[in-house]
Amino acid sequence: MINHSSVTEFLLMGFSDDRQMQIFHFGIFLSIYFIALTGNFLLIIAVALNHNLHSPMYFFLVNLSFSDVGYISATVPKSMADSWTNNKLISFSGCFAQVFSVIAFGSVELALLTVMAYDRYIAICCPLQYTIIMNWVACIQMAAASWTLGVLNGVIETGMTFRLNFCSTNIIRQFFCDMPQLQKISCTDTQANHILVTVLGSIVGVFCVGGISVSYGYIFSAVLKISSDQGRYRAFSTCIPHLTIFSLFVITTMFSYVRPKELSFPTLDLLSALLYAVLPPVLNPIIYSLRNKDIQESVLKIPKKLKRFIM
């Protein structure tokens, strides 16, 4: 791929050239990264150590946490290193790996959120058939399909992006190698890439957004028929966090990848990238944990269980 381009490395513009602001950015991103890793790994450990949480819902939640760790690790550590060392260069291969990781983990996250909506639909609308439909074989197959589709999407979109030639400039106006920004600085026609992103985005939109909309349409219809206020609250409490995360992730991602060039501004690009690449991995464990007493209790019991395991 490098043979097709005169550019062998890229320059990430980041947030600021001021040294004090760079240190400030490093501290903020370090805190965000620590919160994301701590929250997601605590959730994974809590589910793994508590046999009462070995159910399809928590199985998909653990997969989502693994995806979140990979997703935020694809961008934030490199951005922190750039700020700390004041070296914003990234190699061609490093940029390739970053683009692939962002697309692949982001696609996995979207697929898992769709599967989780289907899981909630079966649990609320077909409770008597839940254990039959959402058996472990089906759960493993759906999780495997989510990871496989994510990797395939990453391979296709990254491959198409790095078939372009980069010869006029190597400056990426973003804090990581972002596919839309790479298309902007390419010195070759990017129409095929835009068509590919639009087609894949439409397919994903119909499958994921459509699937989740239908699932929640049935869910809300069933919940409203519950006579007990407490029953309605419990049903909504398992759905609202998931719907909130999905809406934030999809809206910001679609805004970044599908919006016209006329609506692209450096500040707006940075903000939208923060919203879809950094916030979801931080918010996912927080939102799911704050409204879930089972996870909270399991997290509090982790030290005791680890002590027993070690001894």
pLDDT in tens, 116-170: 889 988 988 888 899 999 999 999 999 999 999 999 999 998 998 888 888 778 8
Q: In what order do the strands lie in the sheet with 171-172?
A: 89-91, 9-12, 171-172
The CATH number of the domain where 306 resides is what?
1.20.1070.10
Write a three-state SS string for the chain: CHHHCCCCEEEECCCCCCHHHHHHHHHHHHHHHHHHHHHHHHHHHHHHHCHHHCCHHHHHHHHHHHHHHHHHHCCHHHHHHHHHHCCCEEEHHHHHHHHHHHHHHHHHHHHHHHHHHHHHHHHHHCHHHHHHHCCHHHHHHHHHHHHHHHHHHHHHHHHHHCCCCCCCCCEECCCCCCHHHHHHHCCCCCHHHHHHHHHHHHHHHHHHHHHHHHHHHHHHHHHHCCCCHHHHHHHHHHHHHHHHHHHHHHHHHHHHHHCCHHHCCHHHHHHHHHHHHCHHHHHHHHHHHHCCHHHHHHHHCHHHHHHHHHC
Judging by DSSP bridges, how do beta strands 171-172 and 9-12 pair with one another? parallel
| Residue environment code for 118-139, b if the CB has 16+ CB neighbours within 10 A, otherwise e | bbbbbbbeeeeebeeebeeeeb
Kindly state the average pLDDT of the residues 11-17: 81
* Six-digit token string for 132: 């039959």
At 186, the amino acid letter reads S
Integer Cα distance of 145 and 151 in angstroms: 10
What do you get for the CA distance between the two ends of the chain, in Å?
Answer: 53
pLDDT, position 262: 60
Integer Cα distance of 233 and 228 in angstroms: 9
pTM of full prediction above 0.75: yes
What does R_g of the chain's alpha carbons equal in angstroms? 21
- Residues 16-47 pLDDT 10s: 788 888 899 999 999 999 999 999 999 999 89
Integer Cα distance of 17 and 279 in angstroms: 24
pLDDT, position 307: 66
pLDDT, position 33: 95
- Residues 267-296 pLDDT 10s: 777 777 888 888 889 988 888 776 677 788
Domains: count for the chain? 1
- Residues 207-261 pLDDT 10s: 888 888 888 888 888 877 777 777 777 767 767 777 777 777 777 777 666 666 6
Kindly state the average pLDDT of the residues 183-207: 79
Q: Which domain holds residue 181?
A: 2-310
